[in-house]
Amino acid sequence: MNYFLTAEQELIQQIARRFARERVAPVAAELDEKGEFPRKLLDVLAKTDLCGVYLPEEYGGLGGGMFGFCLVVEEISRVCSGVAICYAASGLGAIPILLFGTGEQKRQYLPEVAAGKKLGAFALTEANAGSDSFAQETTAVRDGGHYILNGTKQWITNGREADIYTVVAVTNKAKGARGISAFIVEKGTPGFSFGKKENKMGIRASSTTELIFNNCRVPEGNLLAREGMGLIVALKTLDQSRPGVGAQAVGIAQGALDLALKFARQRVQFGQPIIQFQAIQHMLADMATQTEAARALVYSAARMIDAGAKEISKSSAMAKVFASDVAMRVTTDAVQIMGGAGYMKEYPAEKMMRDAKITQIYEGTNQIQRNVIASELIKERD
């Protein structure tokens, strides 16, 4: 379908697609099996200039915005969403700096992310602060010209592999939600270490790790925005990044549809390819329709963000919740069409099904996204 891409956007899509097919596809199964972080692939990706596709040119990026970011995430996810999320999570760590950083902070950190020399990560989740992001327990206490961080972050994508972390912590417990702040923390800062690496069902190429802060001293100049704005930083960041999760889900769904179509054309039963049976045709038709609808929602939300729309929470949540639900349905149907073969690791369909599940969970579960959508609907007036 024609999504009215500019020449530059078409080029971004083509480069990402070529990278995914030529570099990622041959090693995707191995990376998944070993749970191996794709450092070499990310180094190759850095040479394409796509690491900074969403960042402004003044910081070394391509100025492609969230739409360009979604194009890259979708194409890589079509082959391996585990590799894609390593790329996307770096953007998630950099977006708070782009949105709320001072000029000095942006100049210090964003060019290295854009060049692919350093990876970012976003540290919000804790053992008792998942969907309830207000329940932060990690603390940041001012001490002269520094803040001292103590606490543990859980399930952080890019874990020990990142170089620059946006970390949310409590600076004044008495103020509740207004007592939470956000900080830039660099790897190697004394008192900052890593806990266990999680053994995940899907997106196994990515590193999901605990972050441990034990009297970690962070310069006050690394505070993002100002004290008490941590949750605003986090929520505004997630509003911007959720179409990226939607793009990941669209890529997974498209990859599964591609695989199911190819299999259905080749698999012969009862004397003919199974794609000739109406039951299979209807499944494929629904899979294709749902994937295109999800893509349209994701692209629309990304374009709204790039256009500077003030109210993006609803559109962002819709894109994420719909696309991730579609990815789960389409991958499940792809496995069903492929039958026993779909259940075997010889084919990537089972991996796509495992990978799809997380898109319904992270960056806000789909139940939370429905709360967000409903809340925005209630606010609306004729």
Domain 121-229 has CATH 2.40.110.10: yes
Distances 276 to 51, 170, 338 between C-alpha atoms, Å: 43, 60, 14
Residues forming the active site: 363
Cβ atoms 153, 167 nearer than 8 A: yes
CA angle 337, 79, 333 (to 5 degrees): 20
Q: CB atoms < 10 A from the CB of 276, how many?
A: 14
Any residues with CB less than 8 A from the CB of 229 and at least 6 apart, and which?
100, 181, 182
Domain 231-379 has CATH 1.20.140.10: yes
Residue by residue, pLDDT tens for the chain (382 residues) are 767 999 999 999 999 999 999 999 999 999 999 999 999 999 999 999 999 999 999 999 999 999 999 999 999 999 999 999 999 999 999 999 999 999 999 999 999 999 999 999 999 999 999 899 889 999 999 999 999 999 999 999 999 999 999 999 999 999 999 999 999 999 999 999 999 999 999 999 999 999 999 999 999 999 999 999 999 999 999 999 999 999 999 999 999 999 999 999 999 999 999 999 999 999 999 999 999 999 999 999 999 999 999 899 999 999 999 999 999 999 999 999 999 999 999 999 999 999 999 999 999 999 999 999 999 999 987 6
Q: Rounded distance, CA 233 to CA 244, Å?
A: 17
Q: Rounded distance, CA 98 to CA 110, Å?
A: 8
Alpha helices in 61-144 (DSSP H): 65-77, 81-100, 103-114
Distances 120 to 78, 258, 348 between C-alpha atoms, Å: 23, 32, 28
- The number of C-alpha atoms within 13 Å of 189 and in the hemisphere containing its C-beta is 27
Cβ atoms 305, 66 nearer than 8 A: yes
pTM (2 d.p.): 0.96
Choose which CATH entry (1.10.540.10, 3.40.50.150, 3.40.50.300, 1.10.10.10) describes domain 7-119: 1.10.540.10
Check if 7-119 and 231-379 are the same fold: no
Ranges of each domain in the chain:
7-119, 121-229, 231-379
